[in-house]
Amino acid sequence: MYEVPNNEANGDIQMIVLGLTGSIGMGKSTTAKLFAEAGVPVYDADAAVHRLYEGEAAPAIEAAFPGTTADGRVDRIKLSARVVHDPAAMKLLEQIVHPMLGASRQKFLSEAEQSGAAVAVVDVPLLFETGGENRVDAVVVVTTTPKIQRERILSRDNMTGEKLDAILARQLPDAEKRQRAHFVVDTSHGLDPVRARIRDILDQAARMPRRRS
């Protein structure tokens, strides 16, 4: 396990929060797992949404989008069909879910800091799109070539070219994300280069000043 050096300021350890993001199919989930493999606490926003859909958020989503839940759980396929091509519906869904998600993220960060972690990672697919870069100390963007990205996505179950285009339309272009990033991870060449890049990022991040609001 890679040992993250402590970031010390005035004798106190101050945890640095990295926002991990990247467009669909870039390899972000794999990169998040490799951060965890290196001993870093990782908050998975998608997994948190899954948990909310299976409990806390289901009643409000059913009220807003009747017929999209069953047995107290959100049917993700039905919900996706209702919102993916409707910006107003997507905004309403975000208004329901984001406050709950924010509370769970803050709980995670508080527990990570109390545990003595020097660096924590918040894995958020739409980090820039939701203003999340202001809630982290630095942003890590995961990227790959357009060809590899499209091949990865279209190999998934229930994925079509039309659905992919709708998803990409909601996301900032990869070039803009890379331009706004503090760190970039390229997943085009296998896992070992990604592991090496993560070690480099952690070395730098643990010595950064906190900047999140």
Write down the pLDDT at residue 204: 95
Q: Where are the domains of the chain?
A: 9-41+117-213, 46-114
Give the model confidence (pLDDT) of 67-118 as tens digits.
999 999 999 999 999 998 899 999 999 999 989 998 999 999 999 999 999 9
Write down the pLDDT at residue 170: 81
Write down the pLDDT at residue 127: 92
Write down the pLDDT at residue 116: 93
DSSP track, 20-81: EE--TTSSHHHHHHHHHHTT--EEEHHHHHHHHHTTTTHHHHHHHSTTSEETTEE-HHHHHH
User: What would be the CATH architecture of the domain defined by 9-41+117-213?
Assistant: 3-Layer(aba) Sandwich (3.40)
Write down the pLDDT at residue 213: 64
Write down the pLDDT at residue 11: 35
Chain centroid to Cα 155, Å, comes to: 21
Overall pTM surpassing 0.85 (yes/no): no
- List of residues 6+ apart from 64 with CB closer than 8 A: 92, 93, 96
Residues of the chain with pLDDT under 70: 1-13, 213
